[in-house]
Chains A and B, each alone.
Chain A
Amino acid sequence: MTVPVHLRHDETFVLNLGPQHPATHGVLRVKLTMDGEYVVKAEPVLGYIHRMHEKLAEGGTFAQFMPNTARMDYLHALAFNHGWALVVEKAAGIEVPERAEYIRVITVELNRIASHLLWWAAFLLDLGGFTPLLYAFDDREKIIDLLERITGSRLTYCYMRFSGVYNDIDDEFVAGTRDFIKRLRGRMPRLYHDLVTHNIILIKRIKDIGFVSAEQCRRYGATGPVARGSGIDYDIRKNEPYSVYPEFDFDIPVFPEGDSMARYMVRMHEMEQSMRIIEQALDKLPGGPVMGKAPKVLKPEAGYYYSAVETARGSLGHRLVCNGDKNPYKLKLRSPTFSNLSLFGEVAEGMLLADALAFMGSLDLVIPEIDR
């Protein structure tokens, strides 16, 4: 446990972590007030990669905003595609063919595995382990190649359209996805769990470190693996089902410990659950078109709309206000890490700096998604 020996608030110094620091994975700055190696106060400073996507949304049509969605959370871009498509389809009352929804789920879940793999690699890199990154990137590369064939891009996807997806999947994609699942399942026990999860060095670094209580999650609005690592059984895919998720049999991994290890375990188990979803979706994949009918010019009726999806990092919400015009009157993006990071200051207080960094890594931060 991280119990500070003796905090002397009269002898502190300020340490700027970032905005250019490898452990912050992007341009996040944390203003730390330190007492020796102990953190007295931690204050994240945001906005270094702020691009004002919400204003850009107001300036264009609904369809023109789709490419922007992938440029927020570049690790789980398809979930952001999906979230935007769903809220606009809800507002405009557009029907989506079943096959398109299945393909959306397959690609989103593949992307979720890729996101967790990259988090795993980067998190262990933060902790000083370089080798795992090579294994994770090897597997992630397979997913990226699969998605590239279908969506045309490797990272910043613009794959979904209102009423469907723009490109159908083919037999080669289906076979490649099945091969990938077989491969990852084969590598998981030895390369991921034996090498890393059961490794005493990792356990010493993250077990009982960075405790987040369930009540803290609620007060700060933390969702995703952070909440599920604190014993909260909350996943939008189950609690507020959207798309075709109710048709699949999968579990929501929940770990009650609330430490960095619990968040680690949640993500490791989620990869297996995503693979289960993909397998079932491939088995049940219906035929038919991948694009339905949507008007060329969308003019949803005036009103307030909200739609949430579960990204790799938590609940992504779109608060959309329409006034009957052809562009959004107001769009607020409720990005999951913005809320997840807001509890960092409270939790990091009194921690050793090295532990605070391990805790920050366990939150799985993607800075462009926080800053939007």
Chain B
Amino acid sequence: MGLLERTQAALAELFPEAASAPGAAGEGGAEAPPREIGILVTDPGKHGSHLDVLCHPAQVVAVAQILDREGYFLEAISGVDWLDKQQFEVVYDYNRLGGEHCRVMVRTALDRTHPVVPTISGVFPAADWHERETFDFYGIHFQDHPNLIRILLPEDADFHPLRKDYMP
């Protein structure tokens, strides 16, 4: 079993209801069917990542723990502001340090008026600074983060500049 299949199988345990959904197999990264949660195999040549995992905010720690067990490292955490959907999205990129290459993109959608997601800095210390940056730019609150303060903007800043409705 290759790394991709192994990772997919390990993550599939988190999504029992989505496992039987059609379209979970690779479609060459074409138009993905709309879905709430679940795993999609994407074309790395087109999208740069092998797996596109959509999960509930409460599941991000469980996903991180599974990927930690499988030997992944955290590349980056990014926020996305979908203003018209009134949602924030947090995108986690995981990859392998050497050996077989497999990039896993994990996404979770948050309510824009109350953006809270659990921290994964307990699993990956790398998340500490990336979560602080996402908090800095979007005002997304990472629950139980040990030190959720601004990192790149001045400590007395009272704005979150990457929000789409931010006006300087």
Q: A219-B124, A221-B73, A329-B80 are in contact. Are A304 and B97 (CB under 8 A)?
A: no
Which of B1-9, B17-25, B45-53 is near enough to bind chain A? Answer: B45-53
**Number of A-B contacts defined by CB within 8 Å:** 102
Partner among B99, B105, B152, B161 whose Cβ is within 8 Å of the Cβ of A304: B105
Which of A70-78, A188-196, A256-264, A334-342 is near enough to bind chain B? Answer: A334-342
Partner among A58, A87, A303, A346 whose Cβ is within 8 Å of the Cβ of B125: A346
Residues of B close to A338: CB separation below 8 A: 129
Q: Nearest A residue to B103 by beta-carbon distance?
A: A306
For the complex, give the distance between the alpha carbons of A338 and B47 in Å: 24
A317 touches B101 (CB 8 A): no
Residues of A close to B150: CB separation below 8 A: 47
A203 to chain B, nearest CB (A): 28
B97 touches A54 (CB 8 A): no
Q: A227-B97, A307-B48 are in contact. Are A334 and B76 (CB under 8 A)?
A: yes
For the complex, give the distance between the alpha carbons of A87 and B152 in Å: 25
Q: A307-B48, A319-B91, A346-B125 are in contact. Are A371 and B80 (CB under 8 A)?
A: no
Q: Nearest A residue to B147 by beta-carbon distance?
A: A43
For the complex, give the distance between the alpha carbons of A52 and B150 in Å: 14
Residues of B close to A220: CB separation below 8 A: 125-126
For the complex, give the distance between the alpha carbons of A303 and B73 in Å: 23
A245 to chain B, nearest CB (A): 14
B49 touches A371 (CB 8 A): no
Residues of A close to B47: CB separation below 8 A: 303-306
Partner among B78, B81, B97, B152 whose Cβ is within 8 Å of the Cβ of A332: B78
Number of interface residues of B (CB under 8 A): 39
A275 to chain B, nearest CB (A): 24
B151 touches A46 (CB 8 A): yes
For the complex, give the distance between the alpha carbons of A156 and B154 in Å: 27
B48 touches A305 (CB 8 A): yes
A262 to chain B, nearest CB (A): 16
Q: A46-B151, A342-B126, A342-B128 are in contact. Are A306 and B93 (CB under 8 A)?
A: yes
Residues of B close to A219: CB separation below 8 A: 73, 124-126
B14 close to chain A: CB less than 8 A? no
Q: Nearest A residue to B123 by beta-carbon distance?
A: A219
For the complex, give the distance between the alpha carbons of A232 and B98 in Å: 7
A154 close to chain B: CB less than 8 A? no
For the complex, give the distance between the alpha carbons of A372 and B105 in Å: 23
Which of A10-18, A169-177, A233-241, A357-365 is near enough to bind chain B? Answer: A233-241
A326 close to chain B: CB less than 8 A? no
B76 to chain A, nearest CB (A): 4
Residues of A close to B75: CB separation below 8 A: 221, 308, 315, 317, 334, 339
For the complex, give the distance between the alpha carbons of A304 and B52 in Å: 9
Residues of A close to B48: CB separation below 8 A: 87, 90, 305-308
Residues of A close to B45: CB separation below 8 A: 90
A residues with a Cβ closer than 8 A to B are 46-47, 50, 52, 54-55, 58, 87, 90, 217-221, 223, 227, 232-234, 239-240, 303-308, 315, 317, 319, 321, 329-330, 332, 334, 338-339, 342-343, 346, 371-372
8 inter-chain pairs at a CB distance below 8 angstroms, sorted by A residue, are: A47-B150, A47-B152, A220-B125, A223-B97, A233-B98, A307-B48, A319-B93, A339-B126
